[in-house]
């Protein structure tokens, strides 16, 4: 009898033919769309707890760079995974759990726009194990992390097991951002070398260390000053739309998500810059994708950007707070309680999205250690005040002077860097402004005008 059961089990593993249904990701829906669908079952879990860990949410975040699968449970998730070939697939076992409505209702969906996943099947492998089989369209590498519960701003997540997949050959689709190869290289620094030995259990200290290859970017030591002479069209502006993916940023009363607003502003700014002929622009993200703060800095430095602009639309504790702001880095403490509040909220992004991509590369670590380069700070101040003045033409200013605080994303020691708070999504009036295509275009235009003025006054163009 046992031989027959084992034979059937081997066949299930081989063909991935489980009694469960396909996880939900439609051609048009984003992972955000799952939240309302999942909410009902999450409430039932609370009222009908079993002795097993209940899966209360499954979210998938596809992009041209990597695809993230997030499994959320009401308790700490214990998981193991291994990979199989012919066809390429990952098998994820969620231990101490059982199939429930969250998984059963996620059926009959396509992954046409996902460059990584072709299909997913889910089933109850044994009485205490849920098995998820992810079929891949190409050779894929993966890394995992377990994230403790977090409740910040409009986000409230319980225990999460995050499974990040990216092309193992380092290639992405032709529509990907020019910097995607750099992000992939940083992913490779922290990838799991031996998937069959991996465990997603918390406090797992046996994670292998990867070996650097020639494809991994080597980041140079910080330069002593900003490059003062540029050829026309070679001034590179790195645009950094805040948040993304698992991290929505601030959420307004009408449901406006900061990550979507600032991505649209960033794209508009990119187009204005690239059409100018004087400057060029690249983006740390051009999709709904999570990128840690330190990686954003490293991407900008690898690209040898001349200017770094992080774009946000934040929230405050009071809905009465309104107005545009511009921030620069401070190492001597925040310039005001408001600046400190905003910095803390922005620096918490990695707590929400996880640090799966945080590189252990020693050179990258050095970037964030020595921030005492006065010239970069002075240039950041000049740029910040110019952009703030431009923003005053389209919106009330929260403060007529730039603010200073310890923003992690502004810590490139050799790139003048600013963070622009376009408006408060927590303010009812300004949320409506941010929902307006016209206002978002004006924000991009004013930042662009500030960049033009700064470049004309501070960078010699040959």
For the chain, what is the HEC assignment?
A: CHHHHHHHHHHHHHHCCCCCCCCCCCCCCCHHHHHHHHHHHHHHHHHCCCCCECEEEEEEECCCCCEEEEEEECCCCEEEEEEECCCCEEEEEEECECCCHHHHCCCCCCCCCCCCEEEEEEEEEECCEEEEEEEECCCEEEEEEEECCEEECCEEECEEEEEEEEECCCCCCCCCCCCHHHHHHHHHHCCCCCHHHCECCCCCCCCCCCCCCCCCCCCCCCCCCCCCEECCCCEEEEEEECCECCECCCECCCCCEHHHHHHHHHHHHHHHHHCCCCEEEEECCCCCCCCCHHHHHHHHHHCCCCEEEEEECCCCCCCCCCCEEEEEECCCCCCCHHHHHHHHHHHCHHHHHCCCCCCCCHHHHHHCCCCCCHHHHHHHHHHHHHHHHHHCCCCCECCCCCEEECCHHHCCCCCCEEEEECCCCCCHHHHHHHCCHHHHHHHHHHHHHHHHHHHHHHCEEC
In tens, the pLDDT along 196-240 reads 333 333 333 333 222 222 233 333 333 433 445 666 668 999 999
Residues 63, 415: Cα–Cα separation, whole Å:
28
Joined together, the tokens standing for residue 100 give 């429930």
Comparing CA positions, the residue from 428, 434, 430 lying closest to residue 398 is: 430
Residue 90 φ then ψ, to 5°? -110, 140
- Provide the pLDDT for residue 355: 65
The verdict on 327 and 450 lying in the same domain is yes
**What are the pLDDT digits (tens) for 400-413?**
999 988 888 888 88
For residue 110, being part of any structural domain is answered with yes
Q: Which domain holds residue 44?
A: 2-197
Q: Categorize the per-residue pLDDT at 330 as very low, low, confident or very high, splitting at 50, 70 and 90.
A: confident
Which has the minimum average pLDDT: 55-64, 178-187, 256-265, 311-320? 178-187
Q: What is the CATH number of the domain that holds 268?
A: 3.40.630.40
User: What span, in angstroms and rounded, lies between the C-alpha atoms of 374 and 371?
Assistant: 9
The residue among 245, 271, 272 whose CA lies nearest residue 258 is 245
Do 285 and 415 have their domain in common? Answer: yes
Residue ending a domain, among 145, 179, 197, is 197
328 and 181 in a common domain: no
Same domain, 455 and 360: yes
Model pTM score: 0.75
Asked if the structure places residue 102 within a domain, the reply is yes
Which pLDDT belongs to residue 18?
33
Distance, in Å, from the CA atom of 459 to the CA atom of 462, rounded to the nearest integer, reads 10
Residue 217 domain flag: no
211, part of any domain: no
Instruction: Write phi, then psi, for 263 (nearest 5 degrees).
Output: -65, -40
| Packing angle, helices 437-458 and 374-391, rounded to 10 | 140
Rounded to an integer, what distance in angstroms lies between the CA atom of residue 54 and that of residue 76?
10
* Shared-domain flag, residues 147 and 275: no
Mean pLDDT for 31-47 is 40
- 70 has which bridge partners? 59, 162
Is the pLDDT at 28 greater than 70? The verdict is no
pLDDT of residue 351: 84
Say what the pLDDT of residue 13 is: 36
| Same domain, yes or no: 37 and 124 | yes
Q: Are residues 372 and 277 in the same domain?
A: yes
Distance from the first to the final alpha carbon of the chain: 82
**329 within some domain:** yes
Looking at the fold, whether 183 and 247 belong to one and the same domain comes out as no
Instruction: Answer yes or no: do 171 and 278 share one domain.
Output: no
Percent of the chain predicted with pLDDT > 90? 42
Q: What is the mean pLDDT of residues 161-178?
A: 65
Domain boundary among 197, 218, 247: 197
CATH code at position 33: 2.60.40.3500
Classify residue 121: in a domain, yes or no: yes
Phi, psi of 433 (to 5 degrees): -60, -45
Residues 92 and 172 grouped into a single domain: yes
Q: State which of 197, 213, 243 marks the end of a domain.
A: 197
Higher-pLDDT residue of 24, 85: 85
If asked whether residues 370 and 292 sit together in one domain, one would say yes
pLDDT band with cut points at 50, 70 and 90 for residue 295: confident
**Does 173 fall in a domain?**
yes
- Residues 402 and 445: their CA atoms lie apart, in Å, by 19
- Residue 439: is its pLDDT beyond 90? yes
Number of domains in the chain: 2
- pLDDT surpassing 70 at residue 9: no
**Which of 367, 378, 386, 365 is CA-nearest to residue 450?**
386
Closest CA to 251 of 313, 209, 193: 313
Sign of CA dihedral 92, 82, 204, 291: negative
Is there a domain that residue 205 lies in?
no
Whether 387 and 295 map to the same domain: the answer is yes
């Amino acid at each position: 009898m046992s031989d027959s059961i084992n034979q059937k089990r081997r066949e299930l593993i081989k063909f991935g033919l489980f009694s469960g249904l396909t996880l939900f990701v439609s051609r048009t829906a984003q992972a955000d769309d799952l939240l309302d669908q999942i909410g009902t079952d999450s409430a039932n879990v609370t009222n009908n707890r079993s002795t097993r860990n209940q899966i209360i949410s499954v979210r998938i975040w596809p992009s041209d760079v990597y695809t993230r699968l997030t499994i959320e449970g009401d308790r700490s998730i214990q998981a193991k995974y291994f990979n199989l070939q012919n066809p390429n697939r990952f098998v994820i076992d969620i231990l101490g759990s059982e199939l429930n409505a969250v998984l059963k209702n996620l059926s009959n969906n396509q992954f046409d726009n996902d460059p990584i996943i072709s299909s997913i099947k889910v089933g109850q492998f044994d009485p205490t194990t849920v098995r998820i089989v992810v079929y891949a369209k190409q050779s894929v590498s993966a890394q995992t992390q377990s994230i403790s519960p977090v409740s910040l701003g409009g986000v409230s997540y319980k225990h999460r097991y995050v499974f990040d997949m990216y092309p193992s050959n380092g290639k992405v689709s032709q529509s990907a951002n020019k910097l995607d190869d750099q992000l992939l290289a940083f992913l490779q620094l922290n990838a799991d070398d031996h998937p069959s030995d991996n465990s997603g259990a918390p406090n797992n200290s046996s994670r292998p260390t990867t070996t650097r290859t020639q494809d991994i970017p080597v980041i140079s030591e910080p330069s002593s000053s900003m490059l003062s002479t540029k050829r026309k069209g070679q001034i590179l502006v790195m645009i950094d739309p805040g948040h993304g993916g698992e991290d929505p940023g601030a959420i307004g009363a009408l449901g406006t998500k900061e990550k979507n607003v600032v991505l649209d502003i960033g794209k508009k700014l990119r187009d204005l810059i690239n059409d100018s002929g004087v400057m060029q622009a690249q983006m740390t993200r051009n999709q709904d994708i999570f990128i840690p703060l330190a990686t954003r800095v490293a991407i900008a430095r690898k690209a040898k950007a001349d200017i770094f602009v992080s774009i946000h639309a934040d929230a405050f504790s009071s809905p009465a707070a309104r107005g545009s702001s511009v921030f620069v880095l401070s190492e001597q403490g925040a310039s005001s309680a408001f600046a400190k509040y905003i910095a803390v909220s922005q620096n918490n992004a990695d707590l929400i999205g996880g640090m799966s991509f945080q590189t252990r590369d020693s050179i990258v670590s050095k970037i964030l250690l020595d921030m005492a380069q006065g010239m970069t700070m002075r240039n950041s101040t000049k740029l910040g005040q110019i952009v703030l003045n431009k923003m005053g033409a389209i919106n009330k200013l929260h403060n007529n002077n730039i603010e200073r605080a310890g923003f992690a994303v502004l810590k490139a020691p050799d790139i003048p860097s600013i963070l622009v708070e376009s408006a408060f999504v927590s303010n009812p009036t300004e949320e409506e402004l941010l929902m307006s295509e016209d206002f978002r275009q004006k924000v991009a235009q004013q930042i662009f005008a500030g960049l033009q003025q700064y470049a004309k006054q501070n960078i010699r163009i040959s």
